[in-house]
Amino acid sequence: MSDHIDGPRQIGDPSADLTDLFAFTTSENPARMVIAACVFPSAGTTAMFSNAVDYAFAIRRVSVAGLGDAAKFEPGEEEIRLSCRFDNLKRSTAAADPVQGGMCILPDGRTLPIVVNDEKGTSTPDGVFRVFAGLRSDPFYLAWLVPGVRKGPNLLLHDNVLSIVIEFDATRVLDPGRGSLFGVIAETVPLRPDVIGQKPPRIDWVGRPEQTNIRLGNSEAGPIDLRDLWNQQTPFAIATDLKPVFRERLKASLANWDMRDGVADWTPTALAANVNVFLDDFLLFDIAKPITDTSHLEIEKSAIGGRAHQTGGGRAVNANVIDILMTWLINRDREFIRGGATAATKPGTNTFPYLAAPNAELQAVAYSVDLAAPPDAVWALIGGFDPGWHPLVAKVEMKGSGVGQLRTIETIDGKQIIERLDEVDPSARFYRYTSLSGIPASNYTGMLGIKPKGDGSVVEWRSQFLPDNQPDIVVKAIVSALLKTGLDSLKQRFGGAK
């Protein structure tokens, strides 16, 4: 998720929040091009594409307009555009889950139907285009803790995203005989008529990874958040009167990143050239040259270095883009630096739809505490499914009794959690429940049990779930706080086992 949550519009509609953009040729046939975009950060199993948004790719032929200190890329006026639009969910059969359909509008105006999550995708009769849309494992990984330059775990482990993947015959669609260097962007725009001649406000767009959050969103480079203003710009045509604003932010941000290791690697002229190149934000790729996991940004770097590029640039699914970028910003490739992870949760594949299948493994959190009190004394307090004993609970409303009983919990920070009792065995001092709402997870099951241990008892509290609309690391932190705080309070009340 190299572009996620970078403005209020994206926060308001995560299904339109673009997180990543890819452009690469297939390993089986270099004449086949793939462009892919991801939306909906930390998508849950029920995530769906918006039926009010145009998910579009725009490709333009690009020329090298300067090298070295005058490095610049100039996009042409002609635009190759592909758009995907989606319908409401529809029930297919009485037993099946609802299905979302849609269509892809091709550059020549033809439409190609889409069935979301159909891994085979849909192809045009002539085989020129093939399209997939659906839930996939997030191909991005971020293992840096910022501010500062500190290695950490993959902060997106087990995350999923919604993805759109379009594979096509590059010769037929791009006509590389007229030039093989291209720039591509992805954007999300509301589907509604123009209002008094004004186009609807763009929700999001993305070119190169981390243009907004790492470069423009660097708070150490300026106090004003420019990311939402940037997202309202027209790709390939940044507003002339705003260019100085963005240029100064990019310049200050690069200078700041350069000194994160205490060494100045960017000269003023090279820094200015870098800003000039990255101000016009589009993902560059050259279909006449190899696009690999390591070719990302090579075209831009070569231009700034005053030489012709040797690779196809682009961005392959398994490219380590964050470490490539951090190395470039901090030490201008003097020494490659790595974060705390070397791969995404699941590697991409060499076959359609290239992004790995979604993560569906239940995540687990478990804690236990040894108490001095006997099991019956502890069960008398916590075995009734009423969590009023928990220090994070401000108020509880109980409905019903026995299996099926509901508890509505208001936490001390004002949040509401609703849970249902699914199984209870007083003789075994155990109950199992399901969280219905209030925790950003699906398939959430909790289990609380007490067993004798020596002269006292041990309380075990476990939960398993799928993260939903929040990163796995965030959901685990929320659940861990609930479980651990509750068990710690029992130790204070009953005393720990000796």
Report the domain count for the chain.
Answer: 2
Q: What's 433's domain CATH number?
A: 3.30.530.20
373 and 292 assigned to the same domain:
no
- Name the residue among 283, 58, 15 with its Cα closest to residue 162: 15
Same domain (yes/no): 431, 294: no
Which conformational region is residue 392 in: left (phi greater than 0), alpha (psi within -120 to 50 degrees), or beta?
Answer: alpha
Q: Which of 311, 331, 351 is the last residue of a domain?
A: 331
Task: Provide the whole-model pTM.
Answer: 0.92
Same domain, 371 and 422: yes
Tell me the C-alpha distance between 111 and 101, whole Å.
13
Backbone angles phi, psi at 369, to 5 degrees: -145, 135
Separation of alpha carbons 6 and 18, rounded Å: 9
Structure tokens at 34: 């793939």
Which tokens hold the place of 268? Answer: 């003023």
Listed as own residue / partner, the contacts of 477-484 with beta carbons closer than 8 Å and 24 or more positions apart are 478/439, 478/440, 479/365, 479/439, 479/441, 480/365, 480/367, 481/392, 482/390, 482/392, 483/365, 483/366, 483/367, 484/367
Q: Are strands 32-39 and 72-75 parallel, antiparallel or unpaired?
A: unpaired
Dihedral in degrees, nearest 10, Cα atoms 407, 408, 410, 414: 150
Answer with the one of 291, 309, 331 that is the final residue of a domain.
331
Query: What is the predicted pLDDT for the residue at 167?
Result: 98
Q: Is the pLDDT of residue 27 over 70?
A: yes
Confidence band (pLDDT; 50, 70, 90) for 448?
A: very high
Q: How confident is the model at residue 128 (pLDDT cuts 50, 70, 90)?
A: very high
In DSSP terms, 444 is beta-bridged to none
Is residue 195 pLDDT above 80, yes or no? no
Average pLDDT over residues 349-364: 96
Residue 450 predicted with pLDDT over 90: yes
180 close to 71: Cβ distance less than 8 angstroms? no
In a domain, 449, yes or no: yes
Nearest Cα to 284, choosing from 483, 125, 427, 72? 72
Whether residue 433 sits in one domain with residue 368 = yes
First-to-last C-alpha distance (Å) of the chain: 48
Mean pLDDT to the nearest integer, 413-434: 97
- pLDDT of 324-350, one tens digit each? 999 999 999 999 999 999 999 999 999
pLDDT at position 90 is: 84
Boundaries of domain holding 154: 8-331
Q: How far is residue 282 from each of residues 1, 105, 205, measured CA to CA in Å?
A: 17, 21, 10
49 and 161 both lie in a single domain: yes
Supply the pLDDT for residue 488: 96
- What pLDDT is stored for residue 332 in this prediction? 97
In a domain, 292, yes or no: yes
Burial class (CB in 10 A: 0-12, 13-18, 19+), 99: middle
CA separation for the pair 124, 103 (Å, rounded) = 12
pLDDT at 147: 65
336 falls within a domain: no
Which of 9, 7, 4 is closest to 189 using CA atoms? 9
Question: Omega into 353 within 30° of 0, i.e. cis?
Answer: yes
Q: What is the band of 202 on the pLDDT scale with cuts at 50, 70, 90? A: confident
Is residue 224 assigned to a domain? yes
Q: Quick check: 122 and 156 in contact, CB under 8 A?
A: no
Whole-number average pLDDT of the chain? 94
Alpha helices in 305-349 (DSSP H): 321-331
Give me the helices (H) in 435-471, please: none
Same domain, 249 and 313: yes
Please give the average per-residue pLDDT across 236-261, as a whole number. 95
Are residues 128 and 263 part of one domain? yes
| 140-163 confidence digits (pLDDT tens) | 998 988 766 789 899 899 999 999
CA distances, 230 to each of 135, 194, 215 (Å): 28, 21, 12
Describe the chain by its helix, strand, coil percentages, rounded to 5: 25, 35, 40
Mean pLDDT for the stretch of residues 168-194: 92
pLDDT classification of 56: cutoffs 50, 70, 90: very high
Distance from C-alpha of 104 to C-alpha of 129, rounded to nearest angstrom: 10
Helices (H), 233-373: 243-258, 268-279, 298-304, 321-331
pLDDT digits (tens, 9 = 90+) for 82-127: 999 999 988 766 667 789 999 999 999 999 999 999 999 999 999 9
Lowest mean pLDDT among 38-42, 152-156, 235-239: 152-156
CA 218 – CA 226 distance, rounded (Å): 10
Looking at the fold, whether 326 and 367 belong to one and the same domain comes out as: no
Using pLDDT thresholds of 50, 70 and 90, give the confidence band for residue 6: confident
Question: Is the same domain home to 317 and 377?
Answer: no
State whether 268 and 416 are in the same domain: no
From the number of C-beta atoms within 10 Å of its C-beta (0-12, 13-18, 19+), residue 464 rates as: middle
pLDDT-derived band at 248, boundaries 50, 70, 90: very high
Written as six digits, the tokens of 370 are 């040894």
Facing residues of 35 across strands? 23, 166
What integer is the mean pLDDT of 438-461?
Answer: 96
Among 14, 21, 65, which residue's Cα sits nearest to residue 40? 14
pLDDT category at 3 given cuts 50, 70, 90 is: confident
135 and 216 both lie in a single domain: yes
The answer on 250 and 126 residing in a single domain is: yes
* pLDDT on residue 463: 97
With respect to residue 299, please indicate whether it lies within any of the assigned structural domains: yes
Of the candidates 311, 264, 273, 267, the one whose C-alpha atom is nearest the C-alpha of residue 292 is 311
How far apart (Å, rounded) are the C-alpha atoms in residues 494 and 491? 5
Query: Which of 278, 308, 331 lies at the terminal end of a domain, its last residue?
Result: 331
Between CA 87 and CA 123 the distance in angstroms is 19
The average pLDDT across 125-145 equals: 95
| Structure confidence at residue 148 (pLDDT) | 66
